Amino acid sequence: MEHTPLDGKNQVAAEQIFGGRLPLAQRYVKHLATSGIERGLIGPREVPRLWERHVLNCAVIQELISEGASVVDVGSGAGLPGLCLAIARPDLKLTLIEPLERRVNWLNEVVEDLGLENVTVFRSRAEQAVGAVEADVVTARAVSALVGLVDITLPILRGTGELLALKGRSAAEEVAKTKKKLNRYGARQAEILTVGEGLLDEPTTVVRIQL
């Protein structure tokens, strides 16, 4: 059975983002649609929109990340966006931080099956990972509101680097609520970016915070 086949605009976007590694991305989506559902990492209703709402939505942020960067994905869950970035960008060094054992086990199985040599899965809460992992960039999706997210992500950067937080329509409001806290962390800039315009039906909204 073919799970969540690519079609139309999604096919074009996937080819542009993943290039020759598209078969790996397709295998990843198959994992999401099968064992990912069975183990509760993804809701069954998400299967028809795995490509557009999850995988492409995450992978498109790769254009914001410099060549050869070390990336830490906080609260990686089903590997969104961490595994998407690892597949799209073999030059990146990814560390997926996830506290729940069943999710860590699933991530390790997928990483092994796809042969992703640029990925390490680290079982930990984000707060406990400070000093144990190195990052030029920290990513997060659907972890918490920005005002709480900065407390568990910015310390990982140890004073230099950037946070890329995938957000929705509330991005501007969340940034406004976080302004005072960002000043305390010495953030140089907080901006809201739209990525994937012209490529995705629904472009991805990213809050980028630079230290």
Query: Tens digits of per-residue pLDDT, 150-203?
Result: 999 999 999 999 999 999 999 999 999 999 999 999 999 999 999 999 999 999
For the entire predicted model, the pTM comes to 0.96
Q: For position 3, what pLDDT does the model report?
A: 58
The pLDDT score that the predictor gives to residue 202 is 93
Share of the chain above pLDDT 70, in %: 99
pLDDT at 157: 96
**Over 50: is that where the pLDDT of 58 sits?**
yes
Is the pLDDT confidence value at 24 over 70? Answer: yes
**For range 93-119, the mean pLDDT:** 98
141 is in an annotated binding site: yes
Beta strands, E only, 91-175: 93-98, 119-123, 137-141, 162-167
For residues 177-211, b (16+ Cβ closer than 10 Å) or e, as one string?
A: ebeeebeebebeebeeeebbeebbeeebbbbbbeb
Q: Please tell me whether 75 is known to bind a ligand.
A: yes
Averaged pLDDT, 90-111: 98
Per-residue pLDDT band at 1 (split at 50, 70, 90): very low
**Does 126 carry a binding-site annotation?**
yes
Architecture of the domain defined by 60-210: 3-Layer(aba) Sandwich (3.40)
Tell whether residue 79 is among the known ligand binding residues: no
Q: Give me the pLDDT at residue 9, please.
A: 85
The neighbour count for residue 170, using CB atoms within 10 Å, is 12
β-pair type (204-210, 189-195): antiparallel
Q: Is pLDDT at 81 greater than 60 in this prediction?
A: yes
**129 is known to lie in a ligand binding site:** no
